[in-house]
Chain A
């Protein structure tokens, strides 16, 4: 990565467009005001930035856009003071950006393999970048599957993308909800119940898993039962973060810091951290 990294003082970005995703979740399309920096702001799938909502504070947020040919955006659920303040902003409003930080997902190393994405709820946010990037290079991969589970049909993320992805030739998508709603004709049940139907590949396969801890543990258990090795299961961890650059120590887990050693870990690494995830 030889792009720019904004470490200490945020760069100002302007919100160009805001889209509602699901309840309490919005996507913000942005561009950096300094065009020189905007041009050199190169990201890797799986990295994150620190986003300042002026007057409220700063928080860590994943980068859902693909590193190539994609609009720069963030997708944020409102859960507290800073994210609430962000949801109040309108197009034209300003944000501060530091980053990109973190190790990111492997891309070169997984070429030629089958890829499985398993996303629970807003766990699709950190996976989106990698999904789009892999689809942009689909020919260089084996089977590519995505399984996305949400609580209800209204909780399915990135609905426009999902439609597009479902019609993408050779991209196997499976979507399920915990509880159906009137008019829902798709699958009902937790996301791992689709594994048989999807006829998951195991040999030469890498799985990316993101979602709430309960879903994460069940899915990992199922994958390992089917013979996927723990170093072929990849996830991102979330921690309370204040600096993003390895100094405040808030994100420490085991002997690592999520902001600089993560946020991407293999399940083999996660097991050695010796802490709750």
Chain B
């Protein structure tokens, strides 16, 4: 455990930028919204900025990326295939605990099942993660309901907690420890650790007051969702409300469905692209010839909540799929973000 003066905290990011491409929270001037972006000028980072509008999952799982290119001139000519893996070492600076948990879900899903996803593995291979404790929760947060915040307890290289004049710095790995040594950070005492713990406890008590938009008793509904005992009219209502816009999937730190398409570049050359997809789309499950086993919207919507809230899916993530970031509640034009749906299932009604 170490300390770093508040005014010096970006020195950590500067040090990282020597060996890594740094990504961090940047407040966009016009909209005032936070985006988790590639940063070349470290001073652009606002560590205290609210949770980013889009999840940092795009660093390890980009919205669109080329995973391979090939060239084939037809007939009996050779085919040249080139895999295209992103190899740049990346540092995520100022990640929120919910978003780290999202990346852990993706890790377990992409790397921990029967097959390892090579594209994802390359993104994740050389990475340095600095998390930032939320000492004040934001409006849509409910990580306290999903056991994913407000403070990360594993999976980071360094964790920062704002304890007043200083940040309390915890190293979670050998490379984290090494960086603290290299930066000559001041050692912290047990007193400082108690201060940090008090900040986290305080933050938890602030949810009642600040996080007014989302609450979700997910443990109460997981059993019902898994066993199919959620009421049919709840799904029907959810289906009626859904615009099939896909926003919920795109802003969710643990959603990982993708599509693959080969885009021709002329002259027999072609790029294989992988792009985010959403189970809300009608074409998602439609098969060649037009047969669609999941035609009604509600069949596709209850799939999303099954993914986030069932025990079967939790086995893949080793935790519930929802990490309590609240983004789907924030963006959904149909007012059926996860916290609302949890409420409907729990109360067996569709009125709020």
Contact = CB atoms under 8 A, between A and B. Distances in A.
Are A and B co-members of a single complex? yes
Interface of A: 7-10, 12, 14, 52, 54-59, 79-80, 83, 90, 92-94, 96, 213, 238-240, 242-243, 245-250, 252-253, 255, 260, 274-277
Contact of B288 (A52, A58, A83, A260): A83
13 contacts: A8-B67, A9-B81, A54-B268, A55-B72, A59-B288, A94-B79, A96-B81, A240-B286, A242-B258, A243-B260, A255-B306, A255-B310, A274-B228
Contact of A246 (B114, B259, B277, B313): B114
B264 A248 contact: no
B122 to A, nearest CB: 10
A275 B294 contact: yes
B76 A14 contact: yes
A149 to B, nearest CB: 19
B80 to A, nearest CB: 9
Contacts of A7: 115-116, 118
Nearest to B259: A242
Given A80-B288, A240-B286, A92 B76 contact: yes
Contacts of A253: 293
Contacts of B117: 245, 247
Nearest to A80: B288
What secondary structure prevails in chain A residues at the interface with B?
Answer: loop
A54 B72 contact: yes
Given A96-B79, A239-B287, A58 B262 contact: yes
B129 interface: no
Nearest to B283: A240
Given A55-B262, A250-B285, A93 B293 contact: no
A56 B288 CA distance: 15
Contact of B257 (A83, A245, A248): A248
B123 interface: no
Given A54-B270, A55-B72, A90-B75, A240 B118 contact: no
Given A8-B119, A54-B70, A242-B260, A247 B293 contact: no
A245 B81 contact: no
B32 interface: no
Contact of B293 (A55, A80, A260, A275): A275
Given A9-B68, A240-B285, A275-B299, 18 more contacts: A7-B118, A8-B68, A9-B81, A14-B76, A54-B70, A55-B262, A80-B288, A94-B78, A239-B285, A243-B258, A246-B113, A247-B113, A250-B277, A250-B284, A255-B306, A260-B115, A275-B294, A277-B293
Contact of B279 (A14, A238, A243, A249): A249
Nearest to B81: A9
Interface string B296-337: 000100010010001011000000000000000000000000
B83 interface: yes
B75 to A, nearest CB: 6
Nearest to B313: A255
Contacts of A248: 257-260, 277
Nearest to A57: B262
Contacts of B299: 275
Nearest to B303: A252
B75 A276 contact: no
Contact of A250 (B75, B257, B312): B257
B142 interface: no
Contact of A247 (B75, B256, B264, B284): B256
A187 to B, nearest CB: 27
Nearest to B84: A9
B115 A247 contact: yes
